[in-house]
Amino acid sequence: MRRTRMRQRGAADQDSASDEPSEDDWEPFWDEAAGAQRWYSAARDATSLRRPQWALERRLVAEQAPVLVYWPLSRRSFQGRFVRWVPSKLKFKVEYDDGDVEYLAAHQDHKRVQAAG
């Protein structure tokens, strides 16, 4: 079972989000064209109208929210917990009850995840 999940993971974990980027590198700047303050993240090379707070994501990790993650090739779900949020890559670290670990991309893997608690 565990070996099957390891094979399924494939290229998805090549970018494991295991580095330690600055999670709060947003800096304010004045946008002359818009005449308003904006936020810029050098690590993400992105701008935002508002400073991202990631409140929901941080709460899920703080509570170690239990989740079921569906594995289509196994045709079953495995229980785990959110243990880390990596905002620079928009990924959650999930630790499964059997000790396995996976990083899930919030925008790609959300259809495979459901609340377990």
Average pLDDT, the chain: 80
Rounded CA-CA distance 51/40 in Å is 9
Rounded CA-CA distance 95/83 in Å is 7
Domain boundaries, the chain: 2-6+53-115
Any idea which residue has 């970018």 for tokens? 15
Q: Is pLDDT above 90 for 8?
A: no
- Six-digit token pair at 14? 């090549």
- Six-digit token pair at 76? 């079953």
Q: Could you report the per-residue pLDDT of 62-95, keeping only the tens digit for each?
A: 888 899 999 999 999 999 999 998 887 889 999 9
Residue type, 67: V
**pLDDT > 70 in the chain, percent:** 79
The highest-level CATH class for domain 2-6+53-115 is: mainly beta
Q: Is the pTM of this model over 0.75?
A: no
